[in-house]
A and B are shown apart, each in its own frame.
Chain A
Amino acid sequence: MRLPPRTLYRLFPFVARASRWSERRLTPSGRVVLGLLVAAALFGIDMRQTLAWQVATLGGGLLLASLLASLRWRAPISVRRVMPRYACEGQPFTYFVEITNHGTRTERDLVLAEQLHQPDLSWHDFRARRGRARHLNVVDGAIGFPRWVELRMRDRGAVVTPLPVPALAAGASVRVAVAATPLRRGWIDFEGVELLRPDPLGICRARLRVAVPDRVLALPRRHAVPALHLAARRHYQRGGVSLALAVGDSQEFAALRDYRHGDPRRHIHWRSFAKTGKLIVKEYQDEYFDRHALIIDTHVDPADETLFEAVIRVAASLAGGPRPRDSILDLIFAGREVVELSAGRGLADTGRALAWLAEARAAGAGDVDPVTDLIGARAGGLASALVVLGGLDASREALLDSLATHGVRAAALIVSHDETAQPPHLGGGQQRFTVRVAHLESDLAALAVLP
Chain B
Amino acid sequence: MTTAVTARIPLPPGWLAAALLLWGACADALPSAVVMALLLEAVTFAPVKWNTAIRDFHRATDLTSVLFAIVTVVQFQRHGVHGIYELLRASPYCFFPLVLTQRASTAQTLPLSALFYSLRRRADEARRIDVAPAYGIVCLLAASAGDPHPRAFVAAGAALVVGMLWSARPARWRPWQQFATLALGALLALGLGLGLNAARHGFETAFMYWMSQHPWLSSAPNRAVTAIGHIGRLKLSDRIHVRVTPRQAMRLPLILHEASYDTFKYGSWSVQESFAAIDQERDRDRWYLGPPTASPRRLDIAFLHRHELTLLPLPAGSFAIDSSEIAEIQRNRVGAVMGEAPPGALHYTVHAGTSPASAAPPRAADRVVPEAYQAVVARTVASIGLAGATPGEAAARIKAYFLDNFTYSLVQRASRGRRTPLARFLEVTRRGHCEHFATAAALLLREAGIPARYAVGYVVEEYSALEDAYVARARHAHAWAEAWIDGRWVMLDATPSVWFGLEEARVSRWQSIQDVFGWLWYRYQRLASADFEASGNWLLWLVPPLALVLWLRLRRSPTAVRATRRRRLASARVPTPLDPLLDECAARGFEPRPGETLARFFARAGQAERNGIRLSALVAHYYRLRFAPAAADDAAGLEARVRRYLAPETGP
Q: Contact residues of A with B, CB < 8 Å?
A: 27-29, 32-33, 35-36, 39-40, 43-44, 47, 49-55, 57-66, 68-69, 94, 96, 100, 106-109, 111, 135-137, 140, 161-166, 169-179, 197-203
B233 at the interface (CB under 8 A from A): no
Question: Which one of A59, A108, A177 lies within 8 Å of B608 (CB-CB)?
Answer: A177
Q: Once the chains bind, are B9 and A201 in contact (CB under 8 Å)?
A: no
Residues of B close to A162: CB separation below 8 A? 4-5
Q: How far, in angstroms, from A173 to B4 measured CA to CA in the complex?
A: 20
Q: Across the two chains, which residue of chain A brings its CB closest to B3?
A: A163
Nearest A residue to B8, CB-CB: A28
B148: interface (CB < 8 Å): yes
Asked, given contacts A28-B7, A176-B608, whether A58 binds B651 with beta carbons under 8 Å apart, the answer is no
Cross-chain contact B4 with A163 (CB below 8 angstroms): yes
Q: Does B278 contact A (CB under 8 A)?
A: no
The complex places the Cα of A33 from the Cα of B148 at a distance, in Å, of 22
Query: Cβ of B154: which chain A residues have Cβ within 8 Å of it?
Result: 51, 54, 58
Question: Is A140 a contact of B189 with CB atoms below 8 Å?
Answer: no
B651 contacts A61, CB within 8 Å? no
Which of the segments B163-171, B237-245, B249-257, B330-338 contacts the partner chain? Answer: B163-171
Is the beta-carbon distance between B165 and A62 smaller than 8 angstroms?
yes
Chain B residues near A28: list those with CB within 8 A.
5-9, 168
B169 close to A202 (CB less than 8 A): yes
Most chain B CB inside 10 Å of its own CB: which residue of A35, A199, A200: A200
Which single residue of chain A is at the shortest CB-CB distance from B151?
A54
Contact A51 B168 (CB under 8 A): no
B607 touches A166 (CB 8 A): yes
Contact of B153 among A51, A135, A202 (CB under 8 A): A51
- Complex Cα spacing A164 to B172, Å: 14
Q: Is B313 an interface residue (CB 8 A)?
A: no
Chain B 158-187 interface mask (CB, 8 Å, partner A; 1/0): 100100110011111100011011101111
Q: How far is the CA of A52 from the CA of B23 in the complex (A)?
A: 13
Q: Are A43 and B145 in contact (CB under 8 A)?
A: yes
A54, A163, A176: the one within 8 Å of B5 (CB): A163
Does residue B141 face the partner (Cβ distance < 8 Å to A)?
Answer: yes
Q: Which residues of A contact B566 (CB under 8 A)?
A: none
A29–B9 CB distance below 8 A = yes
A177-B172 contact given A65-B184, A200-B180, CB 8 Å threshold:
no
- Contact at A32–B652, with CB atoms within 8 Å? no
Indicate whether B567 reaches chain A with its CB closer than 8 angstroms. no
CB neighbours (8 Å) of B137 from chain A are 32, 35-36, 39
Complex interface: chain A residues within 8 A of B121 (CB)? 135
User: Contacts A51-B154, A164-B5; is A57 near B652 (CB within 8 Å)?
Assistant: no
Q: Knowing A35-B137, A108-B172, A162-B4 touch, does A174 contact B607 (C-beta < 8 A)?
A: yes
The interface residues of chain B lying within 8 Å CB-to-CB of A63 are 185
Interface contact B144-A54, CB-CB below 8 Å:
yes
Are B650 and A61 closer than 8 Å at their CB atoms?
no
Question: Whose C-beta in chain B lies nearest to the C-beta of A171?
Answer: B651
Q: Which residues of A contact B169 (CB under 8 A)?
A: 200-202
Q: How far is the CA of A179 from the CA of B154 in the complex (A)?
A: 44
Please measure, in the bound complex, the distance between the C-alpha atom of A54 and the C-alpha atom of B197, giving whole angstroms.
Answer: 10
Which residues of A lie under 8 Å from residue B117 when comparing CB positions? 137
Residues from chain B with a CB closer than 8 A to the CB of A40 are: 141, 144
Interface: B648 (CB within 8 A): yes
Residue of B nearest to A174 (CB): B607
B193 within 8 Å of A (CB atoms): yes
* B9 and A32 contact, CB distance less than 8 A: yes
Cβ–Cβ contact B648 & A169, under 8 A: yes
A55 contact from B140, B170, B650, Cβ within 8 A: B140
Contact among A61, A69, A106, A179 for B192, CB-based, below 8 A: A61
8 Å CB interface, B104-129 against A? 117-118, 121
Q: Give 25 pairs: A residue, B residue, CB < 8 Å, sorted on A.
A: A43-B141, A49-B82, A51-B144, A53-B193, A58-B158, A60-B192, A61-B191, A62-B189, A109-B172, A140-B118, A163-B4, A164-B588, A165-B2, A166-B2, A166-B607, A169-B649, A169-B651, A176-B607, A178-B1, A179-B1, A199-B170, A199-B181, A200-B181, A201-B169, A203-B165
Shortest beta-carbon contacts, A-B, top 8: A61-B189, A171-B651, A65-B185, A177-B1, A161-B4, A61-B188, A108-B172, A62-B185
Known: A28-B6, A55-B140, A200-B173. 14 other contacts (CB 8 A): A51-B148, A54-B154, A58-B161, A62-B165, A62-B189, A65-B181, A69-B184, A94-B1, A96-B608, A107-B172, A108-B170, A164-B2, A175-B608, A201-B169
What secondary structure prevails in chain B residues at the interface with A? helix
For A58, the closest partner residue in chain B by CB is B189
- Contact status B1-A61, CB under 8 Å: no
Measured between C-beta atoms, what is the minimum distance from A95 to chain B in Å? 10
How distant is A443 from chain B, measured CB to nearest CB, in Å? 23
User: What residue of chain A has the Cβ atom nearest to residue B194's Cβ?
Assistant: A57
Q: Are B172 and A29 in contact (CB under 8 A)?
A: no
Chain A residues with Cβ under 8 A from B649's Cβ?
A: 169, 172
Flag whether B200 is at the interface (Cβ < 8 A).
yes
- Complex Cα distance A29/B9, Å? 7
Complex CA gap A172/B121 in Å reads 46
With a cutoff of 8 Å between Cβ atoms, the chain B residues found around residue A59 in the complex are: 161
Contacts of B5 in A (CB 8 A): 28, 111, 161-164
Whole-angstrom distance between the alpha carbons of A161 and B185 in the complex? 30
Q: Given the complex, which residues of B lie within 8 Å of A108, measured CB to CB?
A: 170-172
Q: Which of A52, A68, A176, A201 has the most CB of B within 10 A?
A: A201
B55 to chain A, nearest CB (A): 20
Q: Are B134 and A60 in contact (CB under 8 A)?
A: no
Distance of B137 from chain A, by nearest CB (Å): 5
A60 and B170 in contact, given A43-B88, A111-B5 (Cβ under 8 angstroms) = no
Q: How far apart sit A198 and B472, CA to CA, in the bound complex (Å)?
A: 66
Chain B residues near A109 (CB, 8 Å)? 170-172
Check B153 against A32 for contact (C-beta < 8 Å). Answer: no
Nearest CB in chain B: distance from A224 CB, A: 24
B609 contacts A by Cβ under 8 Å: yes
Query: By the criterion CB–CB under 8 Å, are A54 and B141 in contact?
Result: no
How many Å lie between the Cα of A359 and that of B153 in the bound state? 62
Shortest CB distance B3–A (Å): 7
Docked Cα-Cα span, A44 to B148, in Å, equals 14
Q: Name B197's closest neighbour in chain A (CB-CB).
A: A47
- Residues of B503-561 contacting chain A, CB below 8 A: none
**Chain B residues near A201 (CB, 8 Å)?**
165, 169, 178, 181-182, 185
Contacts of A164 in B (CB 8 A): 2-3, 5, 588
Q: If the complex has contacts A108-B171, A200-B173, are A29 and B193 also in contact, measured as CB distance less than 8 A?
A: no
Query: A64, B188: Cβ atoms under 8 Å?
Result: yes
- Chain A's closest residue to B191 (CB) is A61
* A52 B144 Cβ-Cβ under 8 A: yes
The complex places the Cα of A137 from the Cα of B116 at a distance, in Å, of: 11
**Which residue in A52, A66, A165, A175 is a CB contact (below 8 Å) of B609?**
A175
The answer to whether A50 and B140 touch across the interface, beta carbons within 8 angstroms, is: no
- Bound together, the chains give a CA A51 to CA B190 distance in angstroms of 14
* A49 vs B87: C-alpha distance when bound (angstroms): 13
Residues of A within 8 A of B190 (CB): 57, 61
A39 with B141, Cβ < 8 A, contacts A50-B88, A61-B192, A199-B181 known: yes
Asked if residues A35 and B161 are in contact (CB atoms below 8 Å), the reply is: no
Q: Does B150 contact A (CB under 8 A)?
A: yes
B96 at the interface (CB under 8 A from A): no
Q: Which residues does chain A contribute within 8 Å of B88, judged by CB atoms?
A: 43, 50, 52
Cα separation A52 to B185 with both chains bound (whole Å): 18
In the bound complex, what is the Cα–Cα distance between A176 and B607 (angstroms)? 7
B177 partner residues in chain A, CB cutoff 8 A: 200
Bound: A61/B172 CA distance, A: 22
A29 contacts across to B, CB distance below 8 A? 9, 133, 164-165, 168
A140: B residues at CB distance < 8 A: 118
Inter-subunit contact B161/A33 (CB<8 Å): yes
Bound CA span A109–B177, Å: 16
**Please, which residues of chain A bring their CB within 8 A of the CB of B161?**
33, 36, 58-59, 62
Is B500 on the interface with A (CB-CB < 8 A)? no
| Docked complex Cα distance between A161 and B188 (Å) | 34
For B188, give the chain A residue with the smallest CB separation. A61
